Amino acid sequence: MLAAARLGDPVAHTASKGWMMAGLIAGALIGAAAVVVTGGAALTLVAAAAAGAAAGGGLGEVLGTMSWAPRHVTGSLISGSFNVFVNGRPAVRAHLSQGICSDHPGSPQLVAQGSSTVFINGQPAARMEDMLTCSAVISAGSPNVFIGGATVTTDDISPEIPGWVNWTMAAVGVAAAAVLAGPVVAVLGAFGGFVGGEGGAWIGGKIFGVGSDGQKWSMLGGSLLGGYAGAKGAGLAARGVPEAPAINPGELTAAPDYLNAVSKFTGKSSAEIEGFYKQMNEQGATYQELVGKAVDKYGLTPDEGHAVFGYTTKLFYRDLNQTLLAGGSPESEGLSSLIQSGLDKMPSSSPVQYRGWRLEDPEALAKFDADFAPGKTVESNFWSTAPSEADAYVADRNVVIRTDQARDISDLAFGVHYHGLIGKPIYSSETLIPPGVPFKVIGTDSAGRIILEQL
């Protein structure tokens, strides 16, 4: 039985708003701190903070409505019965009596709840703990008059926390869980939590009474158990579905754009290109491991990794450079673009590079000398270079190149890793200058090498 409500008795709001905000902040800090301590990426940090905030906010909201949680008086009851009195003061009735609430200024709020068995002026008698339409509760009543019966609600009650706030917190929590644990776990966990909470609230209401602390604890417990069961079920279901084997980025099949580009430029079929790589494997050149490591190390796509590595083999190196020297072609664009985008992700090399040109006949030699005469300007295509004289290819004409455009491709260079398998000198490093870099021919050094200065 509850104390009868009278004109002038106070009304109060629970701590749910304040505790929700405190829970939001504390949950976010705990979630973020956990990721910082254990290590994690920025997206994980944000997701953990969001998940913590949503969980903390929801928990704070529920705990703030418990009977032991502090309440703050926000007004009083301002109207009562014209002919029924309790302790000499007009008795308060649901639907007819009103109260004022400083949290909801403006029109007075109706008393929205009362006894299911005791009526005053044809409406349920209001008691301590019954609610007004703004969710404020009657926080005090008669010291010696008590009214029994279950609680009935006569008017719609606006929740202290608007529904959209709870739905937003739920959505943020599910989205954060999807980032941290995957969408299936997030959705099934949320569904399990919802069903468990509803079930717990129903059971708690039957055992402890509707609106009681026992019902609220039952709802929290049901939500936790339901959420755990849903997430656990998602995990078990996922284990039962075999995962598709991951493709090693070093495998040729992981680079379809590269295969198409090589086929388009060289005119070779996919089978012919795959045969070239198979022959490398048979010689001991395990390119799959080499390309796979470089992809992970430098953030390359498999297509970019294979394009840079492929350039260092004899698959298309000479033909591509001759095509670019002649002005390029539509067939070479795709392959050149993949090599270039891969180069952009490789580290820069030293500012002085060395290179040799092999010129097969007097006509080619004469043309080179004319093009690389002192004072002339030349433009690179893909130039394989070396940062040390020891690794430089020595040929008919040798060049010293001063540039900031050379990229270190040693981790993807056939000559660095596999030349020994085919009886050629092994390089300790290899670099590559991309097309389109302009140079001025300065002259020659004491060793007869042509000096190029980047413009």
Closest residue by Cα to residue 215 from 203, 200, 204: 204
Marked catalytic residue, from 61, 160, 304, 430: 430
Per 3-state DSSP, the chain is made up of helix, strand and coil in percentages (nearest 5) of 45, 20, 35
Cβ-Cβ contacts under 8 Å for 448 (sequence gap 6 or more):
398
Determine how many CB atoms are found less than 10 A away from the CB of residue 38: 9
* 29 Cα distance to chain centroid: 18
Cα separation, 55 vs 82, in Å, equals 48
318 is catalytic: no
410 catalytically annotated: no
Which residues does residue 125 pair with via DSSP β-bridges, in sequence order?
93
| Contact by Cβ (8 Å): 196, 226 | yes
First and final C-alpha spacing in the chain: 94
* Phi and psi torsions of 131, nearest 5°: -110, 155
Catalytic residue of the set 135, 142, 384, 410 = 384
Contacts with 290 (C-beta within 8 Å, 6 or more apart), sequence order = 250, 309, 411, 412, 417
Task: Mark whether 430 is an active-site residue.
Answer: yes
* Strand duo 397-402 + 450-454: pairing: parallel
- Determine the Cα–Cα distance for residues 411 and 349; give it in Å rounded to an integer: 13
Catalytic residue among 6, 93, 127, 355: 355
Angle between helices 287-298 and 270-282 (to 10 degrees): 100
Q: Give the residue numbers annotated as catalytic, written as ranges.
A: 355, 384, 430
